[in-house]
Amino acid sequence: MSQNLPALLVVVPMMLAPIAALINRSGPAWVIATSGAWFAFGAAVQLLRRVMTEGMIVYSLGGWVAPIGIEYRIDQLAAFVTLIVSAIAAVGVLYARTSVASEIEEDRHALFYAAFLLNVCGLLGIAITGDVFNVFVFLEISSLSAYSMIALGQDRRALTSAFQYLIMGSVGATFIVIGIGLLFVMTGTLGMADLAERIPAIWASGDGDRTIAVAFTFLTVGVTLKLALFPLHLWLPNAYTYAPSAVTGYMAATSTKVSIYLLLRFFFSVFGVEFSFEQMRLDAILMPLALVAILAMSSVAIYQSNVKRLLAFSSVAQIGYMILGISFGSVIGVAAGIIHLFNHALMKGALFMAMGCVMYRIGSVRIEDMKGLGKSMPWTMAAFVGGGLSMIGVPMTVGFVSKWYLLQAAIKGGNWLAAVVVVVGSLMALVYIWKVIEVAYFKRRENDDPIEEAPLSLLIPTWTLVAASFWFGIDAGTTSDVAMSAAESLLGMMQ
């Protein structure tokens, strides 16, 4: 059975989704979703272990070998991303039970869990597939389920933001298909390994190099739309603000991360670092956008009065950090981006989950409604502070680790501007996190309705992520080893 683990990782959640929908009862559907997410987590841990010791795992679906059939190719990076996604899904599904029960109507629970499982399946599929068209299929599976989960939010604006996301997401996905099509017509293959072999030859021959360049452009725009890089981020703040809390916590930690993984896959594995960075000068576009994203979105976040929205803008800024790391094009820069991928998933997940707890008790996440919460919901707000410290980049937290690597990368590349921006961005994070903390701890409530602490079923998952963000901040060796070796193999070659 173990040789089929790569397929099982994807098809177990996929199989459980229709079963959850068929049963159509809240409790059993949750049990199914939980078992699916935890199975995926276990499988991802196994796969990462195997990849770290034995190297890349290749699995041919249906026994059809690569150019004819679809291949799953799991290298360190893919295994690492599947681990992030499935870990967050495993924690998120525990959190979802209570949160979903309070925010979504009873008769939609089963469908919600089915959509959740499909989303997990889609994201994991993107991470491990070695076929570019298969990427598109999984991308759409994950996106369509994400749109429908966002639309389940209580506020009617959830509907419009889901619609907006649907339009922009579909345009992004269509751009990706156009890019894939152009690559296919030039190379006659859809396998990533084959593409990586053939593209340099076509580029060098000068015959059809324009098509390759256009394909590159379409893919770049499509993927950056999906990952919400600065000027293309417009769908993200609304979607994260109005989605149900459980969905926001899960999605903020996974979906944009997988899109960044996709960016790495296309630029480094398929096109190759030399093509992307020396011929196409990708860094010349990504770096300014990343810098602007960090500064502009952090300052926008400061002026938000809805904490979920604040965190959403902060997410766009944090995506800027990841892209900044990637845009250095050096091993340590890419590694910094990958580490931040993991770290940001932990801390943003924790922060959004803490906000979900607040939502559960007071039904609002506006800053002015959060007065005095430090006293009445000490554990929730402590979790928020924990995640916030990480966001600022205080030593002993994961945020510090990724900033440290980013600074190192910037200084090694002699890019002082980027180094300054990273530091300034951290200070701005301090401002917007402090805004919330100040109100929660140092302002008194006007009325004296007692507010209880959030239930344990919400607190335990939240604190799991907070604890993880401290654990991996102190013991940074594990993550940075994986990230460094993943970055090396990305920049070196596609084995």
Our finding on whether 167 is near other proteins (CB under 8 A) is: yes
Our finding on whether 495 is near other proteins (CB under 8 A) is: no
- The tokens describing 420, both together, are 């300054």
Our finding on whether 178 is near other proteins (CB under 8 A) is: yes
Q: Between residues 63 and 414, which has the closer beta carbon with respect to other proteins? A: 63
Looking only at residues 314 through 373 of this chain, which bind other proteins when binding is defined by CB under 8 A?
A: none
Q: Which residue has the tokens 């956008």?
A: 289
Q: Between residues 184 and 441, which has the closer beta carbon with respect to other proteins? A: 184
Our finding on whether 304 is near other proteins (CB under 8 A) is: no
Which residue in 47, 51, 74, 151 binds other proteins (CB under 8 A)? Answer: 151
Looking only at residues 68 through 107 of this chain, which bind other proteins when binding is defined by CB under 8 A?
A: 68
| Orientation angle between helical segments 398-412 and 477-492, nearest 10 degrees | 40
Q: Between residues 98 and 134, which has the closer beta carbon with respect to other proteins? A: 134
CA-CA distance, 325 to 268, in Å (whole number)? 14
Q: Between residues 68 and 493, which has the closer beta carbon with respect to other proteins? A: 68
Our finding on whether 478 is near other proteins (CB under 8 A) is: no
Whether 229 contacts 302, CB under 8 Å: no
Whole-number minimum distance, CB 31 to other proteins, in Å? 17
What is the rounded (10 degree) CA torsion for 192, 197, 200, 203? -70
Q: Nearest CA to 389 among 481, 484, 469? A: 469
Q: Between residues 64 and 434, which has the closer beta carbon with respect to other proteins? A: 64
User: Would you call 60 helix, strand, or coil by DSSP?
Assistant: strand
Of the candidate spans 167-175, 333-341, 371-379, 390-398, the one that interacts with other proteins by CB under 8 A turns out to be: 167-175
Q: How far is CA 61 from CA 5, 11, 44, in A?
A: 12, 11, 18
Of the candidate spans 13-21, 26-34, 277-285, 366-374, the one that interacts with other proteins by CB under 8 A turns out to be: 13-21
Q: Between residues 19 and 101, which has the closer beta carbon with respect to other proteins? A: 19
DSSP assignment string, 168-188: HHHHHHHHHHHHHHHHHHHHS
Q: Between residues 17 and 468, which has the closer beta carbon with respect to other proteins? A: 17
Which residue in 35, 42, 108, 184 binds other proteins (CB under 8 A)? Answer: 184
Our finding on whether 312 is near other proteins (CB under 8 A) is: no
Whether 50 contacts 57, CB under 8 Å: yes
Our finding on whether 60 is near other proteins (CB under 8 A) is: yes
Whole-number minimum distance, CB 303 to other proteins, in Å? 16
Of the candidate spans 2-10, 246-254, 303-311, 469-477, the one that interacts with other proteins by CB under 8 A turns out to be: 2-10
Our finding on whether 427 is near other proteins (CB under 8 A) is: no
Within 10 angstroms of residue 370's Cβ, the number of other Cβ atoms is 24
CA-CA distance, 345 to 226, in Å (whole number)? 16
DSSP E strands in 62-112: the ranges are 71-74
Within 10 angstroms of residue 378's Cβ, the number of other Cβ atoms is 12
Identify the bridge partners of residue 190 per DSSP, sorted by sequence position.
none
Of the candidate spans 11-19, 226-234, 350-358, 399-407, the one that interacts with other proteins by CB under 8 A turns out to be: 11-19
Our finding on whether 231 is near other proteins (CB under 8 A) is: no
Q: Which residue has the tokens 């102190």?
A: 474
* ∠ CA 272-274-275, rounded to 5°: 70
Which residues contact residue 137 at a Cβ distance below 8 angstroms, ignoring those fewer than 6 apart? Answer: 125
Our finding on whether 18 is near other proteins (CB under 8 A) is: yes
Which residue in 160, 364, 478, 495 binds other proteins (CB under 8 A)? Answer: 160
CA-CA distance, 355 to 384, in Å (whole number)? 8
Task: State which H helix or E strand residue 340 sits in.
Answer: helix 331-362
Which residue in 101, 137, 419, 424 binds other proteins (CB under 8 A)? Answer: 137
Q: Which residue has the tokens 């987590």?
A: 41
Q: Between residues 148 and 315, which has the closer beta carbon with respect to other proteins? A: 148
Q: Between residues 181 and 200, which has the closer beta carbon with respect to other proteins? A: 181
Our finding on whether 39 is near other proteins (CB under 8 A) is: no
Residue numbers at the binding site for other proteins (CB under 8 A): 1, 4, 7-8, 11, 14-15, 17-19, 21-22, 59-65, 68, 133, 136-137, 140, 144, 147-148, 151, 156-157, 159-160, 162-163, 166-167, 170-171, 173-174, 177-178, 181, 184-185, 190
